[in-house]
């Protein structure tokens, strides 16, 4: 078995992938043609140019434009099923999909309709592709108090059956303006039993990670790569083993690192931090979950056991039922023990 074969066969979970960001080029083209006048290109060549990001704010604008294509319940479900299909082709078994209800709210989709679409899509994803889908509702961090209220209201009053977490994404530099609103939203979500899985330390420094740890009760952190600038924070993350959901190609495409070789993935692991490997917005960044494992192998020289351990980390850090975790861990162990 070659290393590529091993990566393809490795059972994987995806803990950091966005609903709209998971849309493949054919899906986006279909939606753009379905909803003309959106500003999103309707030819493949133009769309690929559209996806060439200059920096994170530019990425956020492109993401918002694609997000605005999600106008009907059918659009919501189509994206979930597309992700399940793509993951199944890569050995993906489970995903915690980050959904931004505020985006559907601003185009007038009722909460109940969105929830019904998510529920239906999760059932179909398992039945048609063998991929289990859970959901994380996230606040778009640059939109403030109203976005926090809408996201929380949907999570508490009309949650999809598979809702497991509450998060926040978007432009981290904007969050301090709305600090109290975001802290209050996370407190209410956690009180309702949702897991806290915010982004932090992607495009800002350790201060954002401290904020989500100390005031959002973060149980997992999206990205977190800039923790390395603060030795005290590194020590805290090592001690608590709060997982960092790391997305190397995403960080390159949004300008957080200059070269893929500069990514801190190896150092995060050397420091004893808990790391999972994820794709973030795979079609937008020209990657897949399997490709992120290939980056770890090709760029950083990770072998079979290191790749298997990253896969195990993802399973353990997930909110899967315990029996499903154990079944997947057994599959990973069996594959890792097979003759190379």
Which positions are catalytic?
Answer: 202
Question: Using CA atoms, how far apart are residues 332 and 188, in angstroms rounded to an integer?
Answer: 37
Which residue, 209, 267, 220, is CA-closest to 243? 220
Contact 276, 314 (CB under 8 A): yes
Question: Using CA atoms, how far apart are residues 300 and 96, in angstroms rounded to an integer?
Answer: 26
Question: Using CA atoms, how far apart are residues 107 and 274, in angstroms rounded to an integer?
Answer: 38
Question: Using CA atoms, how far apart are residues 118 and 80, in angstroms rounded to an integer?
Answer: 8
- Secondary structure of 112-178 in HEC code, one letter for each residue: HHHHHHHHHHHHHHHHHHCCEEEEEEEEECCCHHHHHHHHHHHHHHCCCCCEEEEEEECCHHHHHHH
Question: Using CA atoms, how far apart are residues 48 and 58, in angstroms rounded to an integer?
Answer: 14
Largest CA distance in the chain: 55
How far apart, in Å, are the Cα atoms of 104 and each of 82, 117, 178, 189, 219? 18, 12, 21, 20, 26
Which residue, 149, 139, 142, is CA-closest to 222? 139
Cβ neighbour number for residue 303 with a 10 Å cutoff: 12
């Amino acid at each position: 078995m070659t290393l590529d074969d091993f990566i393809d066969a490795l059972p994987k979970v995806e803990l950091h992938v966005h609903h709209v960001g998971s849309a493949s080029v054919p899906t986006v083209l279909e939606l753009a043609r379905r909803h003309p006048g959106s500003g999103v290109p309707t030819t493949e060549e133009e769309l690929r140019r559209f996806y060439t990001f200059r920096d994170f704010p530019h990425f956020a604008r492109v993401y918002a434009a694609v997000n605005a294509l999600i106008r009907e319940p059918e659009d919501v479900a189509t994206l979930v099923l597309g992700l399940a299909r793509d993951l199944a082709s890569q050995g993906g078994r489970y995903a915690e999909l980050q959904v931004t209800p505020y985006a559907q709210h601003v185009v007038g989709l009722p909460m109940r309709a969105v929830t019904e679409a998510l529920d239906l899509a999760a059932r179909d994803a398992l039945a048609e592709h063998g991929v289990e889908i859970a959901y994380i509702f996230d606040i778009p961090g640059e939109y403030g108090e109203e976005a926090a209220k809408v996201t929380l209201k949907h999570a508490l009053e009309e949650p999809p059956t598979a809702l497991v977490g509450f998060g926040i994404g978007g432009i981290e530099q904007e969050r301090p303006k709305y600090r109290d609103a975001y802290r209050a939203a996370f407190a209410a979500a956690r009180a309702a039993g949702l897991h806290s899985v915010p982004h932090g330390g992607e495009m800002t420094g350790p201060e954002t990670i401290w904020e989500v740890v100390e005031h959002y009760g973060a149980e997992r952190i999206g990205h977190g790569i800039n923790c390395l600038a603060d030795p005290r924070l590194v020590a805290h993350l090592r001690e608590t083993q709060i997982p960092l959901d790391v997305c190397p190609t995403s960080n390159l495409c949004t300008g957080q690192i200059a070269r893929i070789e500069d990514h801190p993935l190896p150092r995060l692991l050397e420091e004893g931090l808990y790391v999972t490997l994820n794709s973030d917005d795979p079609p937008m960044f020209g990657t897949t979950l399997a490709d992120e494992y290939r980056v770890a192998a090709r760029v950083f020289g990770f072998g079979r056991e290191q790749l298997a351990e990253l896969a195990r980390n993802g399973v353990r850090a997930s909110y899967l039922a315990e029996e499903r975790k154990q079944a997947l861990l057994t599959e990973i162990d069996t594959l890792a023990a097979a003759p190379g």
